[in-house]
Chains A and B, each alone.
Chain A
């Protein structure tokens, strides 16, 4: 199969969806810029016209609200927020309106909307351009959240999100943009709510989210060299999340590490750890370990960034703790 980068896969999904369905349109910041969206939307305005690819004024709240209204009027909008941080200005249309709509009208109507927001960590961008806020959205009933970690999922989950009758928050991470992998050429969907086992293993389960799923695979290689056989699950969807697959693996290995690119307190990893502890308690040999960001905003200076973002070594050390081995000791 031909290979694409993660960012090319996102681009192709947009292109194919817009060509296949005239209800799909794009609105948000930076859509006519060659660099704003990291190449993920390049030249779509030329191909589909600027009526259908609207580079909007910086009005996140109203633009997101307009997309909700357009969805209710039969369109399939994709709203682009080049930083997940900027989506915080649009909480009312996303949560009060889109996420509640189906429920408060007893399922008579829903909001088929994709909100795409980008995590853009590192690069000394500091606290307001790099936040991974997925856990906040995971909390909200009626809102689906996906976080692809591979090029194939980047395409398949975006296409699934566009076809879903509900609001779906699609979060991609700029640190993944250059990853390459096989991507089918045709239109296909990755089912929302289904995790993927990236590596089968017996000794320990590592549940990775987004960028941390990629880090988990690197950690698994290190662990393999130390004689530890790790199973790596790429969660892909945060809401709903694949409890069946995670619990199955937890019961098999008895040791679970959750590697989450977000903060620790009330984070995605906390939710997964609580569920594993409640549902698989008697099969666990060790407490569930969480590898997360510390509970601080993102620092800017490169020196501090190095300490802030966990590396595969943090996952390896968590696996050692779960296995009851002294951190730093060779296998």
Chain B
């Protein structure tokens, strides 16, 4: 549990640093911060094995770090440096750490859900005992491809998990402005994909639910759907609190701050965490210093890599 707490703290501190750089203008690419939602990424990744893959979206700093992606490469990427995990070509919304099981994150809502299913199909065709995880927000359930993929995953008994991070908002729109029923945990039911609702701010609950779903996937029993209830403290994009591109939300933030996943895990750990905090802060400082000193891409090479050779 200490490991999961530390993963959450690393995500929190890294995103706070990125948020500050967004505000000063040092980071120019759009950054979607997952501050407040760290337990979902930390809990799910802890249930995976090397070789499993995680597919993310626009808000994926947490997925990248929970899988063990390099902090320095993340900072360099959001700063548009050549040493970034995507060579500075992707920015915050296009991250990759393939050695850590993160083949690529992309910001089209629901975009990687069928990709995760395809990876799971590849594992199944090759007889490999690997699992693919699709992370997406509650807004993604309003895309048709999710429902197509749920059916295909059930039909082909794919070794995958659908993880819905339900933070109640799709950009500035509250779920009540987008749906008539609070029933995302049943999204898979029509397609015979079992679903569960999980406290997404309780890292141990997420870990346990993910562990069961991973076990089911790895055993060949097929996909599962997890709705992890959580809340993002910052706006849809950028660093500002409880505000979305100039639109104030409903004032729920104060309530959700009481359910800080990191604080809750720390209380359960019941130990002195000061040295661990210092470790994480040092790690962040070092990574940031290195990322800042890296070179920027040569603009004369913008034509490179359109196609692989």
By a beta-carbon cutoff of 8 Å, the part of chain A in contact with chain B is 25, 51-52, 54, 56-57, 59, 61-75, 77, 92-93, 96-97, 101-110, 141-142, 144, 165-166
Query: Of A51, A93, A101, A166, which one neighbours B104 at CB under 8 angstroms?
Result: A101
Say yes or no: A142-B306 contact (C-beta < 8 A), given A59-B152, A62-B145.
yes
Docked pose: A93 CA to B145 CA in angstroms: 10
Say yes or no: A65-B104 contact (C-beta < 8 A), given A57-B155, A141-B306.
no
17 pairs of residues in contact across A and B, judged by CB atoms under 8 Å: A57-B152, A57-B155, A62-B149, A65-B111, A66-B118, A69-B115, A69-B116, A69-B119, A70-B118, A71-B118, A73-B122, A75-B122, A92-B145, A105-B89, A105-B96, A142-B307, A165-B308
Docked pose: A292 CA to B119 CA in angstroms: 41
Residues of B within 8 A of A66 (CB): 114-115, 117-118, 121, 149, 152
Say yes or no: A62-B87 contact (C-beta < 8 A), given A70-B119, A104-B94.
no
Q: Give min CB distance, A296 to chain B, whole Å.
A: 29
Say yes or no: A61-B119 contact (C-beta < 8 A), given A66-B114, A109-B98.
no
Docked pose: A89 CA to B115 CA in angstroms: 16
**A-B pairs with the 4 shortest C-beta distances?**
A69-B118, A65-B114, A106-B87, A107-B305
Q: Would B103 and A73 count as touching, CB distance under 8 A?
A: yes
Say yes or no: A56-B152 contact (C-beta < 8 A), given A101-B104, A106-B88.
yes
Docked pose: A62 CA to B145 CA in angstroms: 5
Residues of B within 8 A of A73 (CB): 53, 103, 118-119, 122-123
Q: Does B274 have its Cβ within 8 Å of any Cβ on chain A?
A: no
Q: Does B186 have its Cβ within 8 Å of any Cβ on chain A?
A: no
Docked pose: A103 CA to B91 CA in angstroms: 12
With A73-B123, A105-B104, A107-B87 already in contact, 8 other A-B pairs whose C-beta atoms are closer than 8 Å: A61-B144, A64-B114, A65-B115, A66-B118, A73-B103, A103-B306, A105-B96, A108-B87
Q: Would A65 and B119 count as touching, CB distance under 8 A?
A: no
Say yes or no: A59-B151 contact (C-beta < 8 A), given A71-B118, A73-B118, A75-B125.
yes
Q: Would A109 and B118 count as touching, CB distance under 8 A?
A: no
Interface centre among B87, B120, B305, B308 (most CB of A within 10 A): B308
Docked pose: A72 CA to B118 CA in angstroms: 8
Residues of B within 8 A of A57 (CB): 148, 151-152, 155
Query: Of B90, B117, B120, B308, which one neighbours A65 at CB under 8 angstroms?
Result: B117
Query: Of B94, B122, B148, B308, which one neighbours A110 at CB under 8 angstroms?
Result: B308
Q: Would A165 and B118 count as touching, CB distance under 8 A?
A: no
Q: Would B118 and A144 count as touching, CB distance under 8 A?
A: no
Q: Would A97 and B108 count as touching, CB distance under 8 A?
A: yes
Interface centre among A52, A59, A66, A75 (most CB of B within 10 A): A66
Q: Does B177 have its Cβ within 8 Å of any Cβ on chain A?
A: no
Q: Give min CB distance, B78 to chain A, whole Å.
A: 14
Say yes or no: A93-B114 contact (C-beta < 8 A), given A61-B148, A73-B123, A102-B305.
yes
Docked pose: A309 CA to B53 CA in angstroms: 49
Docked pose: A150 CA to B297 CA in angstroms: 44
Q: Give min CB distance, B136 to chain A, whole Å.
A: 13
Q: Would B86 and A104 count as touching, CB distance under 8 A?
A: yes
Question: Could you tell me which residues of chain B, from 165 to 184, have a CB within 8 Å of some CB in chain A?
Answer: none
Q: Does B304 have its Cβ within 8 Å of any Cβ on chain A?
A: yes
Q: Would A68 and B118 count as touching, CB distance under 8 A?
A: yes
Q: Does B40 have its Cβ within 8 Å of any Cβ on chain A?
A: no
Q: Would A109 and B104 count as touching, CB distance under 8 A?
A: yes
Q: Give min CB distance, B133 to chain A, whole Å.
A: 12
Q: Does B106 have its Cβ within 8 Å of any Cβ on chain A?
A: yes
Docked pose: A77 CA to B151 CA in angstroms: 20
Docked pose: A141 CA to B307 CA in angstroms: 8
Question: Could you tell me which residues of chain B, from 275 to 309, have a CB within 8 Å of some CB in chain A?
Answer: 304-309
Say yes or no: A105-B152 contact (C-beta < 8 A), given A97-B111, A142-B307.
no
Q: Would B118 and A103 count as touching, CB distance under 8 A?
A: no
